[in-house]
Chain A
Amino acid sequence: MIDQQAIAVASFDPPLPVPEAAVLSPTASSSKGLIMQFLEWFGDLGMFFWQVVRAAVTPPFEFRELFRQLDEIGSKSLPLVALAGAATGVVLSMEARYSLTRFGAKSLLPAAIVFSVIHETGPIITGLVVSGRVGAGIGAELSSMKVTEQIDAIEASAVNPYRLLAATRILACILMLPLLTLAADCSGLVMGWVAQAAVEPLSFHQFINSGFKGADFSDFLPPTFKTMFFGLIIGLVACFQGMRTQGGAAGVGRAATSSVVLSSLFVILADVVLVKLILIFFP
């Protein structure tokens, strides 16, 4: 009996363990084995990334698919991101009010909300919401295409699947994350003001003037553009997990789950590094 799973996956790369599955698997007994699997996964991810970059910078360019993905990833994530940003703004406003009042610094409330939203909560909330919605979507879609041989059919039609499927999705994630972050920031600030104004009368003009006093572009641009890295991580991990799927419906489920889990995890870890770098280069 031929190993059909191995056959299904072999056109892209040899069958490799999914790290999340390996971590959870009771058969993954030794820590040495786990480390090897982890390193192997990173090695494969690196090779996959190289294939995607090579495909993305050589013609023919898949503009039609790119625009479709910009809509799919950008426009359709907008309501969710805006809602998450708004909720964060309200929570921040309530929490900050309570804390700052205790320490007698209530006048700093608008600035605290503005800086929290644009520096950290807006970007990270956007990253996490998009990794949930888009990561799962890409992982499930590509893995489903993989197990039903649709990706092989694309390749057999002389179309490079790295260019058509992966490069377009990754690029769309990279381009859309900063824009979605702006939306999350705006809705967060507006709802932060609403929560503030509901307790104590304050015009939006006053809130913004007070909040942005002392702020400049270096407070706003680096945190917003760091989400391009989040987009890269989300797109790359989801495409990689989707296009290396094996094992039918169960494999599709695993790919979707691991896409979300791994991309969310890497977004948070990347944020740690990026925040440090921003503090170094934009003190």
Chain B
Amino acid sequence: METIDQIALRQEEAEKAGSAPVIVAENLRKSFGSQTVLNGISLTVHRGETLAVLGRSGTGKSVLLRLVIGLEKPDSGSICIHGQDTAGLALDQMGEIRKKMGFVFQQAALYDSLTVEQNVAFPLLHHKKDMSKAERSDRVMQLLAEVGMEGNLRKMPSDISGGMQKRVGLARALALEPDVLLLDEPTAGLDPISSGEIDDLVLKLQQKYHMASIVVTHDLHSAKAIAGRLALLNEGNVVIEGSFEELQKSNDKFVKEFLKQS
């Protein structure tokens, strides 16, 4: 009989070998009132892989991410992270899984009463209790340097631009060295240059940390730049999933229209 630790170890080894996916979502359904948002979506993401979820506004892309991290509960279907089904987990149990996950919110969601430095230090302060103040400070500096924000330690979130807020949000999401990264519209509301910078940054961090990532976006250029695989959502379903070239070859009317307009 295998212990939980042995199962986790076996899962980790399989994930590293690429044979076991890190994120497995099966037949997810989610409605809000009479509005069906997701209608039986399934997806898998392996270690080191980035999946971009595309679609029109209001097709449930962000809801999908919130389901994966457990901020929403699916009406039916299952989500497994590192082989563990997240259904029915209590908040603290889900917290153990979330320690290995990073989430970048669409509006960054930085804590507005904390400085940039304190925002990034927040997860470390709560989960790395054995870390000394100096070590924590070094780690925060390293993270902020990685996203090009090392010169803004003492600034409040309200004093920096939207693009900078997203960088800080990204640094905060990486603080606990997650092996799952979820990004909700990382380039939304940014100018083309800032968008490009964020794309480069995500790509660089992805190559460095080999995380399993899901990027939700409606920006096809961004998706093409940072993801190896794309999934296009429409009316709660995945219309097509594959590489950008596979999307281009599709004869589906919606896929063609989406690519044409993007």
Complex Cα gap A153–B37 (Å):
22
Of B60, B72, B96, B110, the contact of A10 (CB 8 Å cutoff): B72
Contact with A along B155-199 (1 / 0, CB 8 A): 000000000000000001000100000000000000000000000
Q: How far is the CB of B101 from chain A (nearest CB, A)?
A: 7
Any B CB within 8 A of the CB of A209: no
The reply to whether B107 and A149 form a contact with Cβ atoms under 8 Å apart is yes
Report A's interface with B, CB cutoff 8 A. Answer: 1-3, 6-7, 10-11, 51, 55, 58, 60, 144-145, 148-150, 152-160, 162
Complex Cα gap A150–B69 (Å):
15
Q: How far is the CB of A163 from chain B (nearest CB, A)?
A: 9
A sample of 11 inter-chain contacts (CB < 8 A) reads: A2-B32, A2-B63, A6-B32, A148-B109, A152-B71, A153-B105, A155-B71, A156-B103, A156-B105, A157-B172, A159-B122
Given A2-B35, A159-B95, A150 and B112 touching (CB < 8 A)?
A: yes
Q: How far is the CB of A14 from chain B (nearest CB, A)?
A: 9
The reply to whether A58 and B112 form a contact with Cβ atoms under 8 Å apart is no
The reply to whether A157 and B122 form a contact with Cβ atoms under 8 Å apart is yes
Contact with A along B98-124 (1 / 0, CB 8 A): 110101010101111000000000110
Any A CB within 8 A of the CB of B253: no
- Which of B60, B91, B127, B176 has the most CB atoms of chain A within a 10 A radius of its CB? B91
The reply to whether A150 and B109 form a contact with Cβ atoms under 8 Å apart is yes
The reply to whether A158 and B109 form a contact with Cβ atoms under 8 Å apart is no
| A-B residue pairs, 7 tightest by C-beta | A158-B98, A149-B109, A153-B109, A158-B95, A156-B103, A11-B71, A6-B32
* Residue total for B at the interface (Cβ-Cβ under 8 A): 33
The reply to whether B122 and A148 form a contact with Cβ atoms under 8 Å apart is no
The reply to whether B69 and A2 form a contact with Cβ atoms under 8 Å apart is no
The reply to whether A159 and B71 form a contact with Cβ atoms under 8 Å apart is no
The reply to whether A160 and B92 form a contact with Cβ atoms under 8 Å apart is yes
Nearest CB to that of A51 among chain B residues?
B91
Any A CB within 8 A of the CB of B66: yes
Complex Cα gap A2–B32 (Å):
8
The reply to whether B35 and A3 form a contact with Cβ atoms under 8 Å apart is yes
Q: How far is the CB of B175 from chain A (nearest CB, A)?
A: 8
The reply to whether B72 and A11 form a contact with Cβ atoms under 8 Å apart is yes
List residues of chain B with CB within 8 A of the CB of A10: 32, 71-72
Nearest CB to that of A162 among chain B residues?
B91
The reply to whether B32 and A7 form a contact with Cβ atoms under 8 Å apart is yes
Q: How far is the CB of A66 from chain B (nearest CB, A)?
A: 14
Given A149-B107, A156-B103, A1 and B58 touching (CB < 8 A)?
A: yes
Q: How far is the CB of B31 from chain A (nearest CB, A)?
A: 10
Any A CB within 8 A of the CB of B33: yes
Any A CB within 8 A of the CB of B249: no
Any A CB within 8 A of the CB of B133: no
Given A11-B72, A148-B112, A149-B107, A157 and B35 touching (CB < 8 A)?
A: no
The reply to whether A156 and B69 form a contact with Cβ atoms under 8 Å apart is yes
The reply to whether B92 and A58 form a contact with Cβ atoms under 8 Å apart is yes
Q: How far is the CB of B162 from chain A (nearest CB, A)?
A: 13
Complex Cα gap A127–B103 (Å):
40
List residues of chain A with CB within 8 A of the CB of B37: 2
Given A153-B105, A158-B127, A160-B95, A2 and B58 touching (CB < 8 A)?
A: yes
Complex Cα gap A139–B119 (Å):
22
Any A CB within 8 A of the CB of B208: no
Of A1, A7, A149, A159, the contact of B72 (CB 8 Å cutoff): A7
- Which of A159, A160, A162 has the most CB atoms of chain B within a 10 A radius of its CB? A159
The reply to whether B98 and A157 form a contact with Cβ atoms under 8 Å apart is yes
The reply to whether B126 and A157 form a contact with Cβ atoms under 8 Å apart is yes
